[in-house]
């Protein structure tokens, strides 16, 4: 004689739905993580490009100051290097040192690209140098 067992229908369906929900959440997490990694890598590359554009602007300002030490160099408008807007700030000071006139330039170059400050795609780097002639 057989003993009647209670029916357990639907348990496999509930387990399968739970497993699908867990796997979908894991897939969504991996997609978000991958997108974040790609965005971070792209921003790092753009930051490096902005740094080198600022360095190029600073090199231009130094060579211009050496060529014409009577005044601060004035950058052409617009001053774009590889898609980055480069601005040059200059302060020129003269000193009398032991009967000789010394000229000191304080040069700052800033390279920017992207939207407004605080936006995701904004990149900005700045370099500076002091030059004594």
In a domain, 2, yes or no: no
Residue-range definition of the domain harbouring residue 106: 11-132
- Mean of all residue pLDDT scores within the chain: 86
In a domain, 39, yes or no: yes
DSSP letter for each residue of 15-42: HHHHHHHHHHHHHHHHHHHHHHHHHHHH
Domain-located, residue 1: no
In a domain, residue 77? The reply is yes
Residue 50 is assigned to a structural domain of this protein:
yes
* Contact (CB, 8 A) for 84 and 111: yes
**Per-residue pLDDT tens for 73-109?**
888 878 888 889 999 999 999 988 888 889 999 999 9
- In tens, the pLDDT along 22-44 reads 999 999 888 888 777 887 888 88
Residue 27 domain-assigned (yes or no): yes
0.85 cut: is pTM over it? no
Q: How many domains does the chain have?
A: 1
Q: Is 62 contained in some domain?
A: yes
4 falls within a domain: no
């Amino acid at each position: 004689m057989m003993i009647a067992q209670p029916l357990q229908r639907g348990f496999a369906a509930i387990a399968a739905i739970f497993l699908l929900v867990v796997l979908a959440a894991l897939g969504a997490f991996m997609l978000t993580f991958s997108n974040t990694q790609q965005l971070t890598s792209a921003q790092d590359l753009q930051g490096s490009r902005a740094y080198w554009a600022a360095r190029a602007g600073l090199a231009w300002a130094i060579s211009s100051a050496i060529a014409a030490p009577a005044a601060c160099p004035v950058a052409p408008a617009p001053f774009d290097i590889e898609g980055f807007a480069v601005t040059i700030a200059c302060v020129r000071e003269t000193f009398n040192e032991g009967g000789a006139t010394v000229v000191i330039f304080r040069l700052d170059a800033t390279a920017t690209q992207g939207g407004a400050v605080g936006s995701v795609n904004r990149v900005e780097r700045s370099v500076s140098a002091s030059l004594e002639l």
